Amino acid sequence: MTFKRWVTVVSVVAVPWVSLEAQSVHYEGAVSVASGNYIFTQRTTSWTLSNGLALSAGPFTLRGSVPLYRQNTSLIAGLSTGLLPTGGSSGRTVADSAAARGRGAGGHPSLQVTAASSYLQEAASLAEDPVEVPTTAVTGYRMVVGDPSLGLGIVALQQGGTSVNLGAGLKIPLTDTSGYGTGQWDVGGSVSLSQIVGRSTLIGFDVGYWHLGDLPELDLRDALMGSASIAYLGRSGWGGSALVSAARSVVEGFADAYTAGVAVSRVARRATISVNLSLGFTETTPDFSLGLSWRIGIS
């Protein structure tokens, strides 16, 4: 589960109590660690530090951020949708493995509402032998500045405890496969719906679509994703949230991504801080991700 999704959850908790007329600047950041084999025979551990600014005026919020990665292989790329197992500079190996599987994940209803057991059965049916890792991909820990991203959010509706938010995003390709990137532009959008229940509980739903740029030797499918969350914020400013998400695999032939996570947050007048933990249940997700995120008012 990515930092951006947790920012969405925290914002969903806080925004309904903030006037749309407010104008503000916030510093947003996060540090996280994610680890897993993903689709490969080699485990990858990724440390990510993200720093950015959010400028809000009326119903509009403009965000920009730059990530810094420290990672022990080149197999995982930092895309607009998070860390994904593209193979990086070894993308041809992933493409060959996908072709050898002889079938794709596109016909599986990633976002169809079914029982959780059906999700896991679907994932298990797609899971096959992991991709052999070229020795050149095991680089040892390296630190690389990732691609910056920009996002625009609009509160389209806020009435009677109901909020509808629209978002658009852009990833700027300043790094290539040697720097945990793709060398291509990513563009996408999202729609979020939230509803306050009682005085302190909020339920949220989010769907998103991203057009992802292809790697030199691996074509990526456009990303389709959805999530559902429930959040609680007490009068003391302490709160918690839980989130489940599903996303179509961006590499055809591999299992779709299913994750679940929880967070504990402290919301103050000028700052919000959250600790989050998420677990991945399929081969295209890390086994776990642990992170700390913050949002601090500047003006």
CB-based contact 88:213 (threshold 8 Å)? no
Which sequence spans correspond to the domains of the chain? 3-297
Using 50, 70 and 90 to split pLDDT, how confident is the model at 92?
confident
* Average pLDDT of span 152-159: 94
One-letter amino acid at 68 equals L
Is the predicted pLDDT of residue 1 greater than 50, yes or no?
A: no
Beta bridge partners of 138: none
One-letter amino acid at 200 equals S
CB-based contact 176:84 (threshold 8 Å)? no
Is the pTM higher than 0.85? no
Residue whose entry in the numeric block shows the structure tokens 């680089």: 139
Phi/psi of residue 263, nearest 5 degrees? -145, 150
Query: Cα-Cα-Cα-Cα dihedral of 245, 185, 163, 9, to 10°?
Result: 40
Calculate what percentage of the chain has a pLDDT beyond 90. Answer: 67
Give 176-229 pLDDT, tens digit per residue. 887 788 889 999 999 999 999 998 999 999 999 999 999 888 899 999 999 999
Q: Which fold has domain 3-297?
A: Porin (2.40.160)
Using 50, 70 and 90 to split pLDDT, how confident is the model at 118?
low
pLDDT score, position 2:
52
CB-based contact 33:296 (threshold 8 Å)? no
Task: Quote the distance between the C-alpha of residue 194 and its chain's center.
Answer: 19
Whole-number Å distance between alpha carbons of 162 and 158:
6
- Evaluated on CA atoms 293, 279, 226, 200, the torsion sign reads negative
For the chain, give the mean pLDDT: 86
pLDDT score, position 121:
54
CB-based contact 151:60 (threshold 8 Å)? no
Query: Cα-Cα-Cα-Cα dihedral of 103, 250, 138, 131, to 10°?
Result: -10
DSSP 238-249: EEEEEEEEEE--
Q: Counting beta carbons within 10 angstroms of the beta carbon of residue 42, is it exposed (0 to 12), middle (13 to 18) or buried (19 or more)?
A: middle
DSSP 280: E
Give 241-284 pLDDT, tens digit per residue. 999 999 999 998 899 999 999 999 999 989 999 999 999 999 99
Give 33-65 pLDDT, tens digit per residue. 999 999 999 999 999 999 999 999 999 999 999
The more confident residue out of 131 and 279 is: 279
Highest mean pLDDT among 4-13, 24-33, 77-86: 24-33
pLDDT score, position 4:
52
